[in-house]
Structure formats: C-alpha cells, structure tokens
Structure 1
Amino acid sequence: MSASSGITASQELLDQYALAMEPSANIRFMKIGISEEQLVPLGSWPVMANDLASDFQIFTEIVEENVPAYILAKLDGTAGWLFISYVPDTAKVRDKMLYASSRSAVTKALGGQAFADTMFTTAKSDLTPTAYASHLRHIAAPPPMSAREQELYNIKAAEKEMGEAYEGSRARKNHVGTTVGVKWSPEVEEAVTAVVSGQGKENLAVIALDPSTETLILTEKKIADVDAIASSLPTSEPSFAFYRWQEGKIVFIYACPSSSKVKSRMMYSSSAAGVVTTAQNLLDFKVFKRLETSDPSDLDTSSMKESSNAPSLGQNTGPPSFARPRGPPRKR
C-alpha cells in the first residue's frame, strides 16, 4: 500500500509531530503505527543521554519482538530526524507487507525534507547503540565493490550515458524480452544478493509481490535447511524464494497454493520468469534449479534431490518457462 491507496496521517499524529518539531521540544523518539488505514502515534520518549547513539538503549521498551512500527529519532544538534523502519522477520506476513510498502506514506505526510537519514531494521538487535554506530560507519564509508560489482557498475554507467534510461533493478524484463512492471524493493535486492553471494549467514530469502504497487517485498530471510523451507512459505498465498543449496547452488522456488486467489496466482505466474531473469542479470549468476509447487509441504530433501536429477536452467535449450496455475473450471 501507499499514500495513494489509502494510508494517510491521522490528525493526532500531525499535531504531535508539529509539537515535536518545536525548538523547545525535548523529544528523542516518536513511535508510529498503522491502524484502520491511518498512521497513528503510539508514544514518544524524551532525550535521556547526550547523544542519539546512547539513547538507542531505550529501544528495549519502545518496540515489540513481532510487531512492526516506524520510529522517528531526533538527530543530535539539528532539527532533522532519523527515520527507522522496524519490520521484524517474525512479524505476520501481511503486517510485513503493509509496513514495508507504506514507508513513503510517512515521509510524504510529515515532509520528506525533515528526514536526513533512514535505517531499515528487522530485529531488536538492529536497534542498539552498537548497531547505530555501525550504521553511521557504513554510510560514511565508500561502498566496497567486488570485481563483478565494479564491472556491473561500469556497464550501468555506460548504458546511462548512451541514453538508454537504464534504471538498475527498476527496469525489469521477462525471458522473452517484454517489460514487466515488477519493481524490487531495496530489502529484496539486498537479501537476494546476500543469498546468492554467500556473504550473509542467511541462505533463504522469501519474497512476496505487493499487487497494489507491483513491488517485490521481503517477507523473511533466515538460515534454513531444506526440510525447513516449507514452514517458511505461506500456505494460502503465492510466494517466491531464493535458496542457497549445496555447494552454493542457487534454487529459485515458486510456490502457488491452490487455495490462493486466481488473480494473485496469475500475477505471480506471469512475473516468475522475469524475477529469475532479472536476478541472474543483476547479480551475474545462473539459477541451478527452478522448483514450482502448489503445496509448499512438498518441498523437502527428497524432492530437492529428485529435482537435481532434472536439467538445470543452464541446460535448457529454450527460454525458461513457468506453468501458469489453472483458473477456476468453466461453468457448464
């Protein structure tokens, strides 16, 4: 969802935010939630220490383990704010999609120029003085690039100069070359990159497609063995997943439960091949296997080994294809 689809700021939030912006206000943190398609205030906390990093210790009482929220943190010595998106991996899938796709509603409603920095967090451990100090070091340092990343960067720069309007992860094409309107959120791109590269501990990234914005949203990233994949996928809605299997082989999973809505099934089906192609082009790798199932519980060690005996994507003679889920039977 986004501001244009109904998420707006309540008058109570606007009033409290205006007070917090006053020079005399002693507010360090403001917590915001979503209730009945409105952004609402959930509390505020005063400045306790001499600097923001030290005040991060207050987060133990501000956020809950499984409940997403937005936090506004007043920066030191300025009138600006740090915008914190807290969407825990353990939250409900629908809540994660709602909060992950509604961040822009907050900045639009309160004025984007007031937000000097942003943090995306998925656990309480991301909200500590040490974690914030690490965040500051990260944004201050030049981004490290591997040889592959540098080559990709050079290609992007050259295409941009040639006027091809290359937009990185936003310009998505499917396997036959036609454009599909599926965008990748920064969290999805980061999670898939970590799974593919092996740089992160997590080897599974579960992804949902937000139909209102046609954007891929990260619903979970975790360490999982093969038999734990099924419990990580929703049983009533379609989903995509990238899984790092044996010897770093990447498996793409498209789960489409029979009980899911036909419209959702068709949207996921038409986007699946494009997601694979985009990932391969963006990260310069080849998906080892594509698994498609209507029942996530079918995904286990035996099914993975059976699938490994089939030709991989790199062995296909034609373009990759996905079987579309069947629609409802026609009335006779």
Structure 2
Amino acid sequence: MSHQTGISCNDELKDVFRDCTTEGGIRAVKIAITDETLECSNSVDKLSDSWEADFDDVVGPLLVDKQPCYILLQLQDMNTWLFIVYSPDDSPTRQKMLYAATRSTLKSEFGGGFITDELFGTKKDEVSYAGYQEYLTHKHAPPPLTNAEEELKFLDETEDRTPPGVTTRHQTVQGLAFPITDDAQGALQEFKEGLVNHIEMNVDLEKETIFKVSSSSIGASDLEELISKDRAGYHLFNYAHRHDNEDISSVFFIYSMPGSKIPIKARMLFSSCKSPLIETIEAHFEIKINKRVECDCSDKLTEEFLRNEIHPPTAEARHKFTKPKGPGRRAPARRPKKEVENGE
C-alpha cells in the first residue's frame, strides 16, 4: 500500500482498529503521529449506550491545546464511526500540514467503509457534540440558490392563489399591479400635458405602492446624472429633438437596476411591477412610450445613446467583393524531342 507521506500505522494501532470493528466495546480512539508513525495515543471504552451522551465526556478530555490529532468515535454500532480531525490554528505549521496529508492514509488503514462521516475543527467547540450537530445542519441544508432560482422561488411564493374577486389584486408571474400614489398620478398627468418632461418613480416595499420620487423639466444631457447608481427606479423621459429637419418628441421608459446592490426581494418586485406600470401609463394616462430601456450603474445614458435608440445609424455599405485575378496564362507544354524529330 502506498502512503502520501510515507507514514503508516504501527502494529499496535492495527490491533486496536481490529478490536474497534469486532468487539464493539470501544467508544473512541485517539491517534497521533509520533516519529513518522501513526500510533494509538489513547482509547476510551463506552460510558453508556448513547453515543450522544458520551460525545463530550469522551472527546473533550482527548483534546490538547496546540496539538493536532485524529479521533475515531463509534456512533450507532461497530460499523458506524465518526472521523474527527482536530487541527488547532496555533499548532505548528509543519504538524498541521503533516496531519492534513496523512488523513487519507489513516482512513484507508482503518477501513473507509466503517467511516460514515467526517468532522474537522480548529477549535474545541467545533468538535463538540453541538459543533457536530451544527455541521450536520449545514451538510443537509439545500445548496445556495442561484439568482435565477431565487427569482423563481420568490415568484412562486408571491403568487396569489386566492380565488379572483372584486377586491382581488392579481399577482402572477407576469407582474404585480401595485397601486400608483396620488402624487405619482399627478406627475404623470403633468407629463402628459407637457408641464414636465422627466419623472422618477419608485416602489414602496412596505406599503406596496408606486410613488413619485421627483418630476422636473431637464435637458437630455442631464438625464444620466438623475439616474441613481445606488437605488432602482422607473424613469419617464420625453426626449425632444430635431431629426431630418423635423421636430420630434420620443418618450423613453427607463428601468434602472444597479444589480447586486439591491436585495433579491426588491429586484423581483421592481421587475414584476414594471409591465403593469407601463400598461397603466399607456392605457390610463394615454402616454405613448416609444422606447423601453433597461440599464445598470455601468450604462451611459448620453444624448447620443438616446438618439441612436430612436434613430439607429445606418450600417455602412459593405465593400464590393473583387474577384482576385487568376493565374497568368500558362506556356504550352513542351513536346518530347523524339516526337518532334519523327514529325509527330
């Protein structure tokens, strides 16, 4: 058998291992590395029939400050053992590296089939019964969700399963129709009448409403400064400009979301409220939205960007493909001298 560090069990430890899996009276075995050899440092018999009750009374006294060690603790029966690796942070670096490199060797010598779980700790409380239970909780917890999985979970949790009625607010994957506050409605009416050309609206997460943050008349060059890099928002902007000798007004709906700076619940609510808000603006306030834009804190909403969104630049004509010239005319093949002499 090959060993990563060249360290193997001595004969006494092998006998102890055999007793562990055949006799059943041993609760715990402490293994140490001494003179480049794995040896039994101590063994403790069962104190009771409960491994949970024995855990701290057996393992605790075996731990020594600044000294790494291995401990095998019998759980349910002779075929179920917990493999504990204790490696204090303040122990010598060489010892910590040696114990880490020899871990798989010890497991192989004892018999990997008997080890049902492993516990690693750098502090005594991490290899206590409470520490082991905490480890099991984390081990069996579901893996962290991706952003997409979090969004699907949130949508599923917020979906309204109440039978439709007069007072029912529909909550579906398509969107949440949060009511628009009076001040936001007033700003939208002023926008329609041309009294202002920019409105910022936001979602009140607690009241579940859409409210006005600000409204004003600005130039296209001022828009980028009004879009926050730290909070999400809905912006309505009327871009008045001249194109091809014609005065044009183009209404932009800008959904600003600074990404990871916003909690997942807020991101989902903003995303879900967007479509119903646009529908309300167009249907109820009769404001035609010409362009919808989504941006994060890295996007540059310059006037050039707005113009190109409304009037995309024409693609440059491709250069006409010129067929390459063929090879020069080849000289006629020379006839063999014999054929020439014979008149052939």
* Higher relative contact order (CA closer than 8 Å, sequence separation 6+): 1
Query: Which TM-score band (shorter chain)?
Result: 0.3 to 0.5
Q: Quick check: which has more Rg, 1 or 2?
A: 2
TM-score, normalized by length of structure 2?
0.40
TM-score, normalized by length of structure 1?
0.42
**By percentage of residues, which structure has more helix?**
1
